[in-house]
Amino acid sequence: MSDIKPIRIMLTGVGGQGTLTATTLLAKTVLAEGLPVTSGEIHGMAQRGGVVESTVLIGCKSPKIGLGEADVLLGFEPLETMRAMPYLRKGGLVLSSTEFLPPLSVAMGKQENPSLETVKEVVAQCTDKSFYLPCQTLGLEAGAVQAGNLALLGALTATDAVPVSLQTLAETIKSNLPAKIVDVNIKALELGVRSLENT
């Protein structure tokens, strides 16, 4: 285990978005690549619209990522990307959705969300490696809004940040998701890859 460079991936999103499904798929893909993997999640409140944070760590024993420890931050919602920034080490990679799911206080008109520009500015203060994708739109284009998460994972395989191939990820989807939603999710992966390549 010691000869593998450790990589810590933090994932964040909103309850009900499918963040944990994406986390498990990524962890299974890392395992399928023959790499030592640990993954962690904090749930319980997940179904009630709260923040869901999870982790995938390659070459580590601990399932937890502390402040300033993440090499990669995957944000399935931009407000949560911004909130999770303290976990990213300086110069780490950020992949984030651009589409907001406003928290209740914002939806009710009591508070305002930061703009996407503000999110990008905050990210830019910490790293110059960031990519933004309209995940829900890509999910809808692939055939289901939930598949948007897979667009973000697809984009991750197109960076050199993790030793995980698009092909292994697609195989993992095929062997772990119900047959009727496999095609939609594979298409979302590809849209994510293309979206990254076009940035």
Partner 1 sequence: MAHPLLSPEGGATHLLLGNEAIVRGALEAGIQVVTCYPGTPSSEVPDTFYRLAPNAKYKFEYSANEKVALEVGGGASLSGAMTLTTMKHVGVNVAADPLLTLSYTGTPGGMMLLSADDPGCHSSQNEQDNRYYGRLAGLPVFEPSSAQEAKDMARDGLLLSQKHESPLLLRTTTRVNHLRGPVEFGPMPAPGKPEGFTRNPAKRVPIPAFARPMHERLLKRIAALREEAEKSPYNKIHGTGAIGIAASGISRAYLADAIMETGLAGKFKVMELGFSHPLPENMALDFMKSVDKLIVIEELEPILENDLRVLAQKNGLNLTIEGKGLLPPNGEFTVTMVANVLRAQVGEETFACDSCIPAELPQRPPNLCAGCPHRATYFAARKVFGDDAIYSSDIGCYTLGLLPPLSMADFLVCMGSSISAGCGASLANDKPVVAFIGDSTFFHSGLTGLASAVFNNHDVLLVILDNHTTAMTGHQPHPGVEMTIHGANEHRLDIARACEGLGVEHIRQVNPLNQKKTTAALEELKEMSGVRVLIAREPCPLHTRRVYKKTAPMVAYVADSCTGRAECLDKLACPAFYKEGDKAAVNPILCSGCMLCLQVCTHIKSKKRGR
Query: Does residue 128 belong to the site contacting partner 1 (CB under 8 A)?
Result: no
Query: Does residue 173 belong to the site contacting partner 1 (CB under 8 A)?
Result: no
- Strand 70-75 vs strand 129-133: parallel, antiparallel, or unpaired? unpaired
- C-beta closer to partner 1: residue 163 or 194: 163
Q: How far is CA 120 from CA 102, 174, 182, in A?
A: 17, 34, 32
Q: What are the tokens at 35?
A: 């790499």
- The Cα 151–Cα 137 span in angstroms is 10
One of 82, 133, 169, 177 touching partner 1 (CB under 8 A): 82
One of 21, 33, 102, 194 touching partner 1 (CB under 8 A): 102
For residue 197, give the 3-state DSSP assignment: helix
Query: Does residue 62 belong to the site contacting partner 1 (CB under 8 A)?
Result: yes
Q: Of the listed pieces 76-84, 128-136, 157-165, 186-194, which binds partner 1 according to CB under 8 A? A: 76-84
Which stretches within 33-133 are classed as H helix?
A: 78-84, 104-107, 116-126
Q: Taking the mean position of all CA atoms in its chain, how far away is CA 115? A: 20
- The residues binding partner 1 (CB under 8 A) are 2, 6, 14-15, 24, 27-28, 31, 36-45, 47-51, 60-69, 79-80, 82-83, 85-90, 102-109, 111-114, 122, 125-126
